[in-house]
Amino acid sequence: MPDASVLPDATTTDGALLVLAIVLPAAGVLLSFVLGGRYAQRIASVLLPSGFFLATIIFADVWQSGHRLVYIVGDWKPPLGIALRADGLSAAMMVAMAIVICAVAVFAHADFGTRAGSVEARAPFAFWILLMAIWGAMNLIFLGGDLFTLYVAIELLTFAAVPLVCLDGRAETLQAALRYLLFALLGSILYLAGTALLYGSYATLDIVLLSRRVHMEPATLVAATLMTIGLFAKTALFPLHLWLPPAHAGAPAAASAVLSAVVVKGSFFIVVRLWFDVMPGILGPAGAQLFGALGAAAIVFGSVVALRQQRLKLLIAYSTVAQIGYLFLMFPLALDTVSGQLQGSGALTGGMLQAISHATAKAAMFMAAGLIYATLGHDRIAELGGIARAIPMTIFAFALGGVSLIGLPPSGGFLAKWLLLGAAVETGQWWWAIVMLAGGLFTSGYMFIVLSSAVAPSSAPLKLRVAVPRYQEAAALALALTSLLLGLVALGPIDVLQVGRPEAIMGGSR
């Protein structure tokens, strides 16, 4: 039976903000269904900036107070009730995802805008509703305080993300969406089976309560393995990445940006919650090295295949496979060999910064690729000659995104990899440093191939199909600049990522 005397926390003063962060997108989806497709974009145009403003308030509150925000739903405390919690990781991810989603909304106006007097169409109606649903599901993932709430959130995220792949209704995108759905459902079944095993063993799924009770036993190991494999499939970690390239490369540009920058971060965030917060002492050195090895394999495989691509969107998609690998290098680097536990150290900070930096950079690059496709009518890399003169702002945004992916200063990618390299040197795990340096060289290679082709003169006069709207280029450039300047957080609120960490609480500073 649950130990009712050990209650994890109570509603804090500003805890209601967490409820609002989930209610706003849910209200937007419902209102869109009630009022119809012509109003969906207007509703999103009001609610998405409001969501960014709300995420910023939550971030500032967590940073200034140094404590996490908590809301106990219905005043029913765990293990019977549900708790919403916002620590430093949650607050930072909420702000980052809100920035990306708002920029995507601006970019999508050209492709999914609803003009006055126009006939209501299926694709715009679906896009705006799915965008708000993804925003709400991500907020629930960041704030959910128990493993079953996280399961519900990841399911909502899956069923909102899959239709984005096939918005245009083409046969190849429908096939890609079905493959994505198959992997996602397999992941869901495994995650749910592991959750049931944990509940059967410990009589609670609350993250705080479970972290106090979980211990090494066969049922725990089986549950953790099932849940981890399921989440790896949803995150597209090598070798479970097969669904990602066709899904991300075939979707419309705005959808590709959301799928690559936002959606894969949801399941990754739950992996972090599971291993750093629920069972930090279970992974062990062998498990941590296995996570790192899968990440390294993803970096090498994704980069090599990206180098061989002839289409720009497929190159970016395989680049995502590679960049996801960096996220899993933090597990061996965060393991304290003395205590045998994963610590919220510089490696965790570096890994989460890599997730945020990749989100902003990759969204910018998919937007830029979409504009190139719209301008030329194709995205064949060998035939991009002269495009840099036609749409210089777009190519500049693409290049800035690449700077962050490579890890050049002062980008967020540089700071993230610097922290990971520092952890590798500090812990004597030099082999991960070699993997990161090799990954940077691979990334430089495929960025050079694209940019050299784009700035080369065209062999024949370019025939531009459409004139790219300035606001679309500005949205891509804004995200690329965000990714570039993210490295400057080293001068500011980088310590917010440690707020609410168990080590910080035990240390008494937070």
Residue 447: in which H helix or E strand, if any? helix 430-455
Query: How high is the pLDDT of residue 218?
Result: 95
Distance, in Å, from the CA atom of 203 to the CA atom of 199, rounded to the nearest integer, reads: 5
* Element counts in the chain: helices (H) and strands (E): 21, 4
The tokens describing 361, both together, are 């950079």
pLDDT along the chain (510 residues), means of 10: 51 94 96 87 95 96 92 88 94 96 95 76 91 97 96 96 92 94 96 97 94 93 97 96 94 95 96 95 94 97 96 96 96 90 86 96 97 95 94 97 95 94 94 96 97 91 87 97 87 77 52
Query: How high is the pLDDT of residue 132?
Result: 97
Query: How high is the pLDDT of residue 1?
Result: 38
Query: How high is the pLDDT of residue 161?
Result: 97
3-state SS record for 5-40:
CCCCCCCCCCCHHHHHHHHHHHHHHHHHHHHCHHHH
Query: How high is the pLDDT of residue 27?
Result: 97
Query: How high is the pLDDT of residue 502?
Result: 65
Query: How high is the pLDDT of residue 140?
Result: 97
Q: Which residues contact 458 (CB under 8 A, 6 or more apart)?
A: 385, 386, 387
Query: How high is the pLDDT of residue 277?
Result: 94
pTM of the model: 0.95
